[in-house]
Amino acid sequence: MSDEFWVFGYGSLMWRPGFAFAERAPASLQGRHRAFCIYSVHHRGTPERPGLVLGLAPGGSVRGMAYRIAPADWAKVQAYLMEREQPTETYVAAHRSVRLADGRRVVALVFLSDPGHPQWAGALVPERQAELIAGATGLSGRNIDYLADLVEHLAEMEIRDPAMQALLRLVEAREAKG
């Protein structure tokens, strides 16, 4: 591993990293895609009423944000991320090559979804995703707010994701019905 430390975010880490960084750059990761594939029993749901959160599911590619961390901050950032991203150990911390928008390739810490974990939801149809997200609330707030933040920030980053926009419309319609 080089003396550079990078972190790749594809969800809330894109707009709310929560740690100091030396550089921030749009980036893409091949071989994984953004998906609501993790049952949330902590941040956006409870064990009695799970919600859904994002994961990096196998296949495709995903655009997100990469952060270069100063070597002096790396241990602190890594500890923070393990606490933030691993409350129920649903992700596997891995190092993967990501391509920055300027063409550079860097190795970044990435949290991959673990298909063997009991909270792995897998590829759910949009209607089932909407059913789980609508009305779910956890320690970090309402599940719909997480989805709405994602859609808003993807648009700000000029990342087109019609599936996430459609999912938000489904959840909003479900919540409007009560």
Q: Per-residue pLDDT tens for 136-159?
A: 999 999 999 999 999 999 999 888
Locate 154 and state its tokens: 């993807």
Q: Per-residue pLDDT tens for 3-60?
A: 789 999 998 889 889 999 999 999 999 999 999 999 999 889 999 999 999 999 889 9
Locate 164 and state its tokens: 């996430």
Work out the average pLDDT over 112-138: 93
Check residue 106 and give its pLDDT: 97
Q: Are 98 and 106 in contact (CB under 8 A)?
A: yes
Strands 137-138 and 105-113, bridge-based pairing: unpaired
Work out the average pLDDT over 116-125: 91
Tell me what percent of the residues of the chain surpass a pLDDT of 90.
72
DSSP 133: H
Q: Which residue has the tokens 């459609």?
A: 166
Distance from C-alpha of 150 to C-alpha of 157, rounded to nearest angstrom: 10
Q: Are 81 and 19 in contact (CB under 8 A)?
A: yes
Mean pLDDT value across the chain: 92
Q: Are 77 and 20 in contact (CB under 8 A)?
A: yes
Check residue 2 and give its pLDDT: 60
Check residue 87 and give its pLDDT: 61
Active-site residues, by number, are 85
**pTM score, whole prediction:** 0.85
Work out the average pLDDT over 119-132: 94
- Helices 126-133 and 162-177: crossing angle in degrees, nearest 10, is 50
Check residue 1 and give its pLDDT: 47
Check residue 174 and give its pLDDT: 95
Is residue 77's pLDDT more than 60?
yes
Q: Residue 104 — φ and ψ, nearest 5°? A: -65, 150
